[in-house]
C-alpha cells in the first residue's frame, strides 16, 4: 500500500540550536534507512506563504498500522503534526500504463500492479563449524549449522531455534554458493516459524576468496539473494503462510544476516 504523508514541524520554544541540528541529522539518517527498506519512495517541499514550507512524503507499507510504526520511530516525530492519506491505483496512472502487459496478438492487456517490498524481519544468526561432505558431481557439499540468533521486525520478534536450523550448501567450481536454508524461529509469544530459503551467493573470484577466509566483506561487494517460504500455525500469523517473500543476505565472519521482505 502507498500513502501520501504530510508533515508540519513545530520546534518547541526554548529548544537549543544544537539540539535542532542533532535531530535534523538523525532525521536525515532515518530517512536514508527508510529508503533502503523500501518505505520512503519520494519526498517534496510544499511552499507556503511567509517563506514557510511543508514536507510531503510518498511512503509504502503493508498496512496503516505498519506505517504508523514507521512514522512513530522518526527522530522528529514528537515535533510533528502528521496527516496520512491512503492511496489507491488509478487506471490513468502513466507509470501503470507503461507497465501494462500486451498479448501476443498485440492486444493490450489489463494493467498489473507494481510489486512492493515490506521488511518483515532481520535475522542475525550465529554459525557453527561446517560439516564438509566433499566434492560431488553437483559440486562441493557442506552443511552449516545455525546455532542461535535473534530476529526483529515491526510485527514479529524472537529467537532462532538451534538444532533445527542449518544451511545445506552446494559450492560450484567458480566459488558460487547455492543455498538451501531451512531454519526455525520462535517468536517472543512462543509461535514457531519454519522458514525455507533457496538462493545464490556469487561475486568476483577475489571477493569470494575473502569470504572463504572468513574476512569481513561488505554485502555490497557480492550478491546474496534467496526466495523464501514461511510456514506457521501461530495465532494471528496466517498471513505468513500466504505471503511471497524474498531475502537479502550478508555473510559475517562469525555469522550471517538475513533481511526478509514481503512482496506486495
- For the entire predicted model, the pTM comes to 0.60
Residue 241 is classified by DSSP as H
DSSP string computed for 179-227: EEEEEEEEETTS-EEEEEEEEEEE--HHHHHHHHTT----GGGSEEEEE
Q: What is the pLDDT of residue 97?
A: 54
Instruction: Give backbone dihedrals phi and psi of 69, rounded to 5 degrees, phi first.
Output: -65, -40
* pLDDT confidence tier of residue 104, bands split at 50, 70 and 90: very low
Q: What is the pLDDT of residue 38?
A: 86
The pLDDT tens digits of the residues spanning 139-168 come to 999 999 999 999 999 899 999 999 999 999
Q: What is the CA radius of gyration of the chain?
A: 22
Task: State the span(s) of the chain assigned CATH 3.30.70.1060.
Answer: 2-87
Report yes or no: 181 and 170 within 8 Å, Cβ to Cβ: no
Q: Which of 225, 66, 229, 242 is nearest to 156 (CA)?
A: 66
Tell which CATH classification among 2.40.160.20, 2.60.120.920, 1.20.1560.10, 3.40.190.10 matches the domain 117-263: 2.40.160.20
- Cell numbers representing residue 246 in the block: 524474498
Sequence-distant (6+) residues with CB within 8 A of 77 are 71
Task: State the span(s) of the chain assigned CATH 2.40.160.20.
Answer: 117-263
The pLDDT tens digits of the residues spanning 36-83 come to 888 898 888 877 665 455 788 999 988 888 888 899 888 888 888 889
- Look up the CATH superfamily of 2-87: Dimeric alpha+beta barrel (3.30.70.1060)
The distance from CA 27 to its chain's CA centroid, rounded to whole angstroms, is: 20
Amino acid at each position: 500500500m502507498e500513502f501520501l504523508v504530510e508533515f508540519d514541524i513545530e520546534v518547541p520554544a526554548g529548544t537549543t540550536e544544537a539540539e535542532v541540528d542533532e535531530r535534523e541529522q538523525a532525521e536525515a539518517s532515518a530517512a536514508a534507512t527508510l529508503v533502503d527498506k523500501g518505505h520512503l519512495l519520494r519526498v517534496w517541499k510544499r511552499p507556503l506563504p511567509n517563506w514557510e514550507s511543508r514536507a510531503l512524503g510518498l511512503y509504502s507499507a503493508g498496512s496503516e498500522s505498519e506505517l504508523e510504526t514507521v512514522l512513530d520511530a522518526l527522530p522528529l516525530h514528537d515535533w510533528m503534526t502528521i496527516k496520512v492519506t491512503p492511496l489507491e491505483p488509478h487506471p490513468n496512472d502513466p507509470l501503470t500504463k507503461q507497465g501494462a502487459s500486451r498479448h501476443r496478438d498485440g492486444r493490450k492487456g489489463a494493467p498489473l500492479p507494481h510489486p512492493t517490498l515490506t521488511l518483515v524481519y532481520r535475522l542475525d544468526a550465529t554459525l557453527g563449524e561446517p560439516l564438509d561432505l566433499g566434492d560431488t558431481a553437483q559440486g562441493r557439499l557442506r552443511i552449516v549449522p545455525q546455532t542461535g540468533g535473534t530476529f526483529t521486525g515491526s510485527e514479529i520478534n524472537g529467537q532462532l531455534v538451534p538444532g533445527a536450523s542449518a544451511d545445506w550448501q552446494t559450492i560450484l567450481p567458480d566459488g558460487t554458493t547455492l543455498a538451501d536454508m531451512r531454519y526455525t524461529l520462535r517468536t517472543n509469544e512462543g509461535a514457531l516459524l519454519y522458514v525455507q530459503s533457496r538462493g545464490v551467493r556469487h561475486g568476483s573470484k577475489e571477493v569470494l576468496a575473502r569470504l572463504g577466509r572468513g574476512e569481513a566483506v561488505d554485502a555490497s561487494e557480492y550478491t546474496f539473494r534467496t526466495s523464501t517460504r514461511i510456514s506457521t500455525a501461530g495465532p494471528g500469523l496466517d498471513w505468513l503462510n500466504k505471503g511471497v517473500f524474498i531475502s537479502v543476505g550478508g555473510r559475517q565472519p562469525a555469522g550471517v544476516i538475513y533481511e526478509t521482505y514481503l512482496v506486495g
